[in-house]
C-alpha cells in the first residue's frame, strides 16, 4: 500500500509517497507530475547506492521515454563539499541539462543535500526529485534544506529549494548496514521528542522491530516522522521561528561532526549525543528530571551513543558551536525539551552552561 502526505507550501506544495517496491513505478509518477521529456534528467547517487539501484531507476525512466544521465559520488559525508558539487555540475553541463531539466537525488541525506544544492544553484535553480534510500532521509528529503559543508561548519553553504516530490521506496532500506539503520532512527526519535510523546513511546516499544527492519513498523515510523516534518515545514518553511525545533540536538551534534572530522561520527549518532545533552541542559535549567532519564534510556535502547568521545577538545567543540546558524547577535539559541514530546526555543542559554554539560558528558560513562 502506498501512503501519501503533502507538504503544504502554496504553489510549492508537493507530495511524499511512501511504499514498498515504488521504484518500479517511477516512470509513471514522473509523467503524472509533469516532468517533461524534452530535457535530460540527471540522477545523482553514491558508490553504495548506485550499484544497487541506479540501473533500475535509470532503466524505468528510459523505458518511459526520458533521456537520463548519471553522476556517482563517493559514499559518505565528505561528498557534501564544494569540490564534489563542481564535479556534478560538470556532468550536468556535459549531459546538456537545461533550465527545464530535473535532478534526481537517489540515495541518503548526503546525496539529497548535495544534489538538491546542485538543483538550487544550476542555472539559478532547476527542479529536483528526492528518491531517499536511507531511514535518516525521511527527514532530509522533506523540507527543502539543501547544502554542502565547509571544513569549519556543517551545511554552511546552502539554500532552501523544495523538491517536486519525495518518492520513498522502503524496500531499498533492507540493504542498509546496521549502523546506518540505527543512525537513521535517531532522527525518527527526534520527531517524537519535539512533537509527540505517544509516538516517542511507540518508537521505544518498537525499538527491536525498527532496528530489525520490520516492514510494518518501519512504514509506520517513517510515515509518522514525515508527518511531523511536513507539519513543521508547512508552518515555517524558512526557519523564521518554529522550524528551529527540528534542530533539537543539532547545535552540539553538528559541532561534534565537524570536530571529529566529517564521517567519523554519523549525523544520526552525533545528534543522538546532542539530544541527550539538550535533555541534561533542560534539567539544569529546572525542567523535570525524567526528560534526561527517558531521553538517554531511549537512545541507549537503539544502541546509539550518549556520550561525547573523550578525545574531542571542548574548546574546539565550543568554537564550532559558534558557527551554528542559530548563533546570532552573540547569543546561542538552543532547543530545550520541557517534557517528552515538547520543546521550547530558548534564546538565552549561556555558553557556560553548555560547556559544563559538554565536560560532564565527556567524563560520565
Ligand atoms: N536537509 C535536511 O533537512 C537534512 C536532515 C537530516 C540530515 N541531513 C543530512 O543528511 C546527511 C546524512 O544522511 P544519511 O544518514 O542518509 O547519510 P548517507 O547519505 O551518507 O547514507 C548513509 C550510508 O548508507 C549508504 N546507503 C544509502 N542508502 C543505502 C541503501 N539503501 N543500501 C545500502 N547502503 C545505503 C550510503 O552510501 C552511506 O554510506 C548528513 O549530511 C546530514 O547533515 C539533512
Ligand atoms: O529541516 C530542518 O529544518 C532540520 O533542522 C532538520 C535537521 O535534521 C537537518 O540535519 C538539517 O540539515 C539541519 O539544518 P541546519 O540548518 O542546522 O543546517
Ligand atoms: Zn539532522
Q: Would you say 56 is a known binding-site residue? A: no
Q: Which of 129, 110, 108 lies closest to 176 in space, CA to CA?
A: 108
pLDDT at 105 over 70: yes
Phi and psi based region of residue 125 (left: phi greater than 0; alpha: psi -120 to 50; beta: remaining):
left
Q: For residue 229, which ligand has an atom nearest its CA?
A: 2
| Average confidence (pLDDT) over 136-140 | 98
Number of CB atoms found within 10 A of residue 269's CB: 23
Q: Of all protein residues, whose CA lies closest to atom 15 belonging to ligand 2?
A: 155
Which numbered atom of ligand 2 lies nearest the CA of 239?
Answer: 3
Q: Is the CB of 362 under 6 A from ligand 2?
A: no
Orientation angle between helical segments 314-321 and 351-363, nearest 10 degrees = 140
Given a contact cutoff of 8 angstroms between Cβ atoms, the answer to whether 9 and 237 are in contact is: yes
Torsion angle (degrees, nearest 10) of CA 39, 44, 49, 50: 60
Q: Looking at ligand 2, which residue's alpha carbon is closest to its atom 3?
A: 246
Is 254 a known active-site residue?
yes
Confidence of residue 365 (pLDDT cuts 50, 70, 90): low
Q: Which three cell numbers stand for residue 190?
A: 527526534
> Taking Cα atoms as reference points, which of 202, 137, 207 lies closest to residue 172?
137
Grid cell of 275 as nine digits: 539530544
- Would the pLDDT of 329 be above 90? no
CATH classification number, 178-363, choose in 1.10.287.130, 3.10.50.40, 3.30.1310.10, 1.20.1090.10: 1.20.1090.10
**Residues contacting 319, CB < 8 A, separation 6+:** none
- What is the model's pLDDT at position 364? 67
Is 187 a known active-site residue? yes
Which residue of the set 164, 180, 187, 257 is catalytic?
187
Asked which of 45-54, 116-125, 163-172, 346-355 is least confident by mean pLDDT, the reply is 346-355
- Our answer to whether residue 347 is catalytic in this structure is no
Give the pLDDT confidence score for residue 283 in this predicted structure.
97
Active-site position among 60, 71, 182, 267: 267
Q: What is the ipTM score, two decimals?
A: 0.99
Q: Which one is catalytic: 48, 138, 229, 280?
A: 229
Instruction: In whole angstroms, give the CA distance from residue 350 to residue 264.
Output: 28
Closest ligand 1 atom to Cα of 155: 43
Does 145 contact ligand 2 (Cβ within 6 A)?
Answer: yes
Parse the chain into domains and list their residue ranges: 3-175, 178-363
Are 193 and 202 spatial neighbours (Cβ–Cβ below 8 Å)? no
Higher pLDDT, 332 or 339: 339
110 is annotated as contributing to ligand binding: yes
Q: Which ligand is nearest to the CA of 170?
A: 1
Q: Catalytic residue, from 190, 247, 269, 280: name it.
A: 247
Is 311 known to sit in a ligand binding site?
no
State the chain's mean pLDDT as an integer. 96
Residue 250 phi/psi, 5° resolution? -90, -30
Question: What ligand 2 atom has the least distance to the C-alpha of 158?
Answer: 18
Assess whether 239 carries a catalytic annotation.
Answer: yes
pTM: 0.97
Do residues 232 and 246 lie in contact, with contact meaning Cβ atoms separated by under 8 Å? yes
Which grid cell is 296?
Answer: 538517554
| pLDDT tens per residue across span 246-271 | 999 999 999 999 999 999 999 999 99
What is the CATH code of the structural domain delimited by 3-175? 3.40.50.1970
Question: How far is 147 from 268, CA to CA, in rounded Å?
Answer: 17
Cα 222 to ligand 2 centre (Å):
17
Amino acid at each position: 500500500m502506498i501512503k501519501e502526505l503533502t507538504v503544504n507550501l502554496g504553489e510549492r506544495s508537493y507530495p511524499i509517497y511512501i511504499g514498498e517496491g515504488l521504484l518500479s513505478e517511477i516512470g509513471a509518477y514522473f509523467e503524472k507530475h509533469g516532468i517533461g521529456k524534452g530535457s535530460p534528467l540527471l540522477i545523482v547517487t553514491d558508490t553504495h547506492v548506485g550499484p544497487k539501484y541506479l540501473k533500475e531507476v535509470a532503466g524505468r525512466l528510459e523505458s518511459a521515454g526520458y533521456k537520463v544521465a548519471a553522476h556517482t559520488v563517493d559514499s559518505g559525508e565528505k561528498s557534501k563539499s564544494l569540490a564534489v558539487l563542481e564535479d556534478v555540475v560538470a556532468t550536468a553541463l556535459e549531459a546538456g541539462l537545461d533550465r527545464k531539466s530535473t535532478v534526481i537525488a537517489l540515495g541518503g541525506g548526503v546525496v539529497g543535500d548535495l544534489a538538491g544544492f546542485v538543483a538550487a544553484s544550476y542555472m539559478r535553480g532547476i527542479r529536483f526529485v528526492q528518491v531517499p534510500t536511507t531511514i535518516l532521509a525521511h527527514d532530509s528529503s522533506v523540507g527543502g534544506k539543501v547544502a554542502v559543508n565547509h571544513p569549519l561548519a556543517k551545511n554552511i553553504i546552502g539554500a532552501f529549494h523544495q523538491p517536486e516530490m519525495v518518492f520513498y521506496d522502503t524496500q531499498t532500506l533492507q540493504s542498509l548496514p546496521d549502523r546506518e539503520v540505527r543512525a537513521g532512527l535517531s532522527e525518527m526519535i527526534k520527531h517524537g521528542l519535539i512533537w509527540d510523546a505517544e509516538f516517542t513511546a511507540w518508537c521505544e516499544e518498537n525499538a527491536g522491530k525498527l532496528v530489525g527492519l520490520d516492514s510494518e513498523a518501519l512504514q509506520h515510523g517513517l510515515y509518522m516522522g514525515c508527518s511531523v516534518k511536513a507539519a513543521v515545514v508547512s508552518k515555517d518553511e524558512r526557519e523564521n521561528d518554529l522550524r528551529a525545533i527540528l534542530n533539537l540536538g543539532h547545535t552540539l551534534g553538528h559541532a561534534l561532526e565537524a570536530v571529529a572530522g566529517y564521517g567519523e561520527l554519523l549525523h544520526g549518532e552525533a545528534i543522538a549525543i546532542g539530544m541527550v545533552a539538550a535533555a541534561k541542559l533542560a534539567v539544569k535549567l529546572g525542567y523535570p528530571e525524567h526528560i534526561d532519564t527517558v531521553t538517554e534510556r531511549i537512545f541507549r535502547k537503539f544502541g546509539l551513543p550518549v556520550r561525547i568521545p573523550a578525545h574531542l577538545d571542548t574548546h574546539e567543540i565550543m568554537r564550532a558551536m559558534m558557527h551554528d546558524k542559530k548563533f546570532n547577535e552573540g547569543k546561542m539559541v538552543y532547543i530545550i525539551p520541557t517534557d517528552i514530546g515538547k520543546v521550547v526555543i530558548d534564546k538565552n542559554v549561556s555558553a557556560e552552561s553548555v560547556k559544563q554539560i559538554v565536560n560532564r558528558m565527556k567524563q560520565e560513562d
